[in-house]
Structure 1
Amino acid sequence: MPKTDGATVTHPLWRFVPRDGERRPSLPEVHASVSVPQGGPWLRRLLAFAGPGYMVSVGYMDPGNWATDLAGGSQFGYTLLAVIMLSNLMAILLQALAARLGIATGRDLAQACREHYSRPVNLTLWLACEAAIVACDLAEVIGTAIALQLLFGLPLIAGALLTALDAFLVLLLMQRGFRYLEAFVIALLAVIAGCFAVQIAAAAPPVTAVLGGFVPSPAIVSDPEMLYVGIGILGATVMPHNLYLHSSIVQTRACPRTEGGRRDAIRWATVDSTVALMLALFVNAAILIVAAAAFHDSGHADVAEIGQAFHLLSPVLGLGIASTLFAVALLASGLNSTVTATLAGQIVMEGFLRLRLPHWARRLLTRGLAILPVVIVTALYGEQGTARLLVLSQVILSMQLPFAVIPLVRFVTDRRTMGAFAVPRWVSVLSWAVAGMIVALNVKLLLDTLA
């Protein structure tokens, strides 16, 4: 039976923090646990703040991105590079806003929502965010299972079930300290970037066509199939739960809680996330470019599945190791993404519901909800059904974006919430324009789907 000490309600698996405990910091076990120098060379200060941005960037190059980028490149060539670039620019802006909210107010986005909205609204926002986390985790399960199959020959269902063990990896890293968690993430990001650098060199895409792909085309909106994949790319790139995550983990830095200290922290956190997301832009663009050069230009426009891409890459590119590098990068991507999904799940559950679960319990809960549909779909429809489920998960993510973006923009533009740290008017206008664009694209996708 649960026990109460007057301040909290405890249970072997969960702890409920009542209203008199609402002012506790986000992720209290690592809050302000990373020291930062109060002077010295700029590089030393940048390195002290580097980490949260790279953890956030993981969500922008997870296995869900692979499915949408592969489909976009093989079907439409380089055209959707413009969507990747636009999505990345939107992500840079939104993540900077999330970091600003966390540092300026000492509250993560979930905590801010709980303080400003009614209980029914908070429950709706929480459910939307949990759906986004499960959709993201679904992509991670599928991607990791496919990578294990391609590298070691494991059946998809066995690989999906094996991904439940990563809960213990997260637990081990968190026990060693937040910097170890960040180092693990950055090391795997380096592996992913290195694998795709080699594949880009082997693909040798035409520079003119690549640069032309970054120029937006009207066909992206007018063609329903291209729009569907484009919004899938948007959903795979701008992750709604990443906004909750970033607003929390920037508070791991022990910066002075003065106006000057907060401004300095906001500046360095923005640099950190911007640099990290430029790496994500490279990886996402590289996946689409390799798909366009290897498949679209060679008459394999029907390649939309990761398994197909793996088997065709080496023969088409003429590089024996290309397929192996592709699978290694996919496995690294899946392992990396599990870290951020665990933290994001803990943040939103505690922030909206004031309910804390142990890392392993929260991870197994989220992963279990993601594994179940993968096992069912794989058993019924095989690998083709899994590939379609992967793309669908990214569209679901996109549909959840307004539920995170609109509250975030509202808070950072409100002087009553942010005080002196409210964004300038031009940033406010730009932020609301981005939020409006996201809502408009999702409405059009919904209408096209119903039609």
Structure 2
Amino acid sequence: MAKDKSGYIIAAAFIGPGTVTTASIAGANFGFHLVWALLFSITATMVLQDMAARLGIATGQGLATNLKEISQNPVLRLLFSLLIVAAVGIGNAAYESGNLTGAAIGLDAFFAIGTGNWAIILGAISALLLWSGKYKVIESVLVVLVIAMAIVFFVTLFAAGPEWTAMFSQAATPQLNTSTINMVLALIGTTIVPYNLFLHASLTAQNYIGADKAEAIAASRKQSVFAIGFGGLITLVVMATAMMAFFNQAASMDAANMGKQLEPVLGEWAQWFFAAGLFAAGLTSSITAPLAASYAVCGAFNWPQDMQGKAFRSIWLAIIVTGVVIAGMGFKPLSAIMFAQAANGLLLPIVAIFLLVVMNRNATLGEFKNGTTSNVLGALVVGFVVCLGVYKLYSLF
């Protein structure tokens, strides 16, 4: 059995530039009044990723392949395939644009040639790494950089002397209205990443071949809870440092001064370090998102899930190209990243409902099917996100 690190890969995938940017904006604009949305997101991520990992281990197949096997009706199977392509393709294209934009913001702080130009360069780098098939080595290095950034955020939080009373007071008075709904959806979309459900199922299916299923599921669950919980803690700390630097202060946060929140520890180097962290987080996620799309689409159409295969390569290349085009269209950088996270929040129910259906109807799961607790928790997650989406649409009129 290969050593499984899928839980850490999932955590690293959602701690991208979208998470850093979204958490920073949330803390700067709303303080800790939206902590409830983050706590919900982390809990929901643990619930849904546990289902995806359990599915991969118990069946030895990814989520997309399992979805097609729900029905033998060729029309329904084709419909499932098309829905997978639509949900994952659209979601990943939006997410990829946010990843590339975030990394481009970081690089543009060092060499100002424009975020659109950097997006093209970064897209090319991501494509070359995936084409080589050796992306995991590069990804590991970048994850280390992201962890280093997280350490600085932790040090900054305590060195700056946080106002714990104000934080708890704001956390105890949650907000949800027309002015916060976009941010709530963005926090959910940047944490409960739909493509991670496909990625996690595929990775565990490959990594636990031949293992005792009960033991493998227990080990995977323990790892995922720890890794996702740590990722949530990082997000919370980013929100806290931004709150101290910008909330109810004269200065407002934008792409040029996000790194100010690190000044208590890093001084004049704060902006540079923050930029390097955005680049590392962005490049890591810009590799993971198209990879997950390839697994999902190839599984949906029964194509070989081989990284050297033509279909596999064509799919991730299409996602990268689409992400580059969107990132280079001239949108305001932070707006582009926020849009990507909100789009994921709206697409999440589609994928989550698919996951719930297959976790109850797949005969191969046997004793590892969803129990009452998993179904109730999953239904609550889906129901709440759907209600938020409806509220968002209602607020537009």
Q: TM-score, normalised by structure 2?
A: 0.90
Matched residue count? 386
Residue 143 (str. 1) matches residue 139 (str. 2): no
Q: How big is the shift at 1:202?
A: 4.1
1:3 alignment partner in structure 2? none
Residue 308 (str. 1) matches residue 248 (str. 2): no
1:11 alignment partner in structure 2? none
C-alpha contact (below 8 Å) 1:90/1:238 kept by paired residues: yes
Q: How big is the shift at 1:125?
A: 2.9
Match runs of 1:322-361 below 5 Å: 322-355=270-303, 357-358=309-310, 361=314
Gaps of 5+ in 2: none
- Inter-CA distance 318–332: structure 2 relative to 1 (3 Å threshold): closer
Residue 298 (str. 1) matches residue 249 (str. 2): yes
C-alpha contact (below 8 Å) 2:188/2:345 kept by paired residues: yes
Residue 196 (str. 1) matches residue 153 (str. 2): yes
Residue 236 (str. 1) matches residue 190 (str. 2): yes
User: What is the letter of the counterpart of residue 96 of structure 1?
Assistant: D
C-alpha contact (below 8 Å) 2:14/2:191 kept by paired residues: yes
Candidates 129, 136, 141, aligned match of 2:88: 129
Residue 388 (str. 1) matches residue 339 (str. 2): no
CA distance, structure 2, for counterparts of residue 57 and residue 430 of structure 1: 21
Q: How big is the shift at 1:256?
A: 2.7
Matched residue SS, 1:298:
coil
C-alpha contact (below 8 Å) 1:52/1:249 kept by paired residues: yes
CA distance, structure 1, for counterparts of residue 274 and residue 389 of structure 2: 31
Output one character per residue of 1:220-241: Cα deviation in whole Å (capped at 9) or x when no partner: 22x2111221111111111011
2:213 alignment partner in structure 1? 262
C-alpha contact (below 8 Å) 2:94/2:323 kept by paired residues: yes
CA distance, structure 2, for counterparts of residue 413 and residue 96 of structure 1: 14
Residue 376 (str. 1) matches residue 329 (str. 2): yes
- Inter-CA distance 445–317: structure 2 relative to 1 (3 Å threshold): farther
- Inter-CA distance 363–121: structure 2 relative to 1 (3 Å threshold): closer
CA distance, structure 1, for counterparts of residue 130 and residue 141 of structure 2: 10
Residue 435 (str. 1) matches residue 382 (str. 2): yes
C-alpha contact (below 8 Å) 1:195/1:326 kept by paired residues: no
Output one character per residue of 1:108-129: Cα deviation in whole Å (capped at 9) or x when no partner: 1111112225112430232111
Output one character per residue of 1:278-311: Cα deviation in whole Å (capped at 9) or x when no partner: 22112211221111110014233x42x332323x
Q: How big is the shift at 1:134?
A: 0.5
- Inter-CA distance 396–109: structure 2 relative to 1 (3 Å threshold): same
- Inter-CA distance 421–204: structure 2 relative to 1 (3 Å threshold): same
- Inter-CA distance 175–71: structure 2 relative to 1 (3 Å threshold): closer
Q: Which of 1 and 2 has greater Rg?
A: 1
1:168 alignment partner in structure 2? 128
CA distance, structure 2, for counterparts of residue 206 and residue 181 of structure 1: 39
Q: How big is the shift at 1:423?
A: 2.6
C-alpha contact (below 8 Å) 1:70/1:306 kept by paired residues: no
C-alpha contact (below 8 Å) 2:143/2:281 kept by paired residues: no
Q: How big is the shift at 1:390?
A: 1.6
Output one character per residue of 1:220-276: Cα deviation in whole Å (capped at 9) or x when no partner: 22x21112211111111110111011000012324535xxx0011111111111111
C-alpha contact (below 8 Å) 1:413/1:423 kept by paired residues: yes
1:366 alignment partner in structure 2? 319
Q: How big is the shift at 1:212?
A: 4.0
What's the % identity of the aligned pairs? 23
Q: TM-score, normalised by structure 1?
A: 0.79
C-alpha contact (below 8 Å) 1:148/1:154 kept by paired residues: no
Q: How big is the shift at 1:182?
A: 6.6
User: What is the letter of the counterpart of residue 198 of structure 1?
Assistant: V
Residue 115 (str. 1) matches residue 69 (str. 2): yes
- Higher RCO, 1 or 2 (CA under 8 Å, sep at least 6)? 2
Cα-Cα RMSD: 2.3
2:391 alignment partner in structure 1? 444
CA distance, structure 2, for counterparts of residue 148 and residue 318 of structure 1: 19
- Inter-CA distance 314–425: structure 2 relative to 1 (3 Å threshold): closer
CA distance, structure 2, for counterparts of residue 408 and residue 185 of structure 1: 30
- Inter-CA distance 153–212: structure 2 relative to 1 (3 Å threshold): same
User: What is the letter of the counterpart of residue 394 of structure 1?
Assistant: Q
1:398 alignment partner in structure 2? 345
Q: How big is the shift at 1:208?
A: 2.5
User: What is the letter of the counterpart of residue 197 of structure 1?
Assistant: F
- Inter-CA distance 243–416: structure 2 relative to 1 (3 Å threshold): same
Matched residue SS, 1:376:
coil
Output one character per residue of 1:347-391: Cα deviation in whole Å (capped at 9) or x when no partner: 11101123455465443321110111222225xxxxxx2321221
User: What is the letter of the counterpart of residue 319 of structure 1?
Assistant: G
- Inter-CA distance 242–225: structure 2 relative to 1 (3 Å threshold): same
- Inter-CA distance 53–182: structure 2 relative to 1 (3 Å threshold): farther
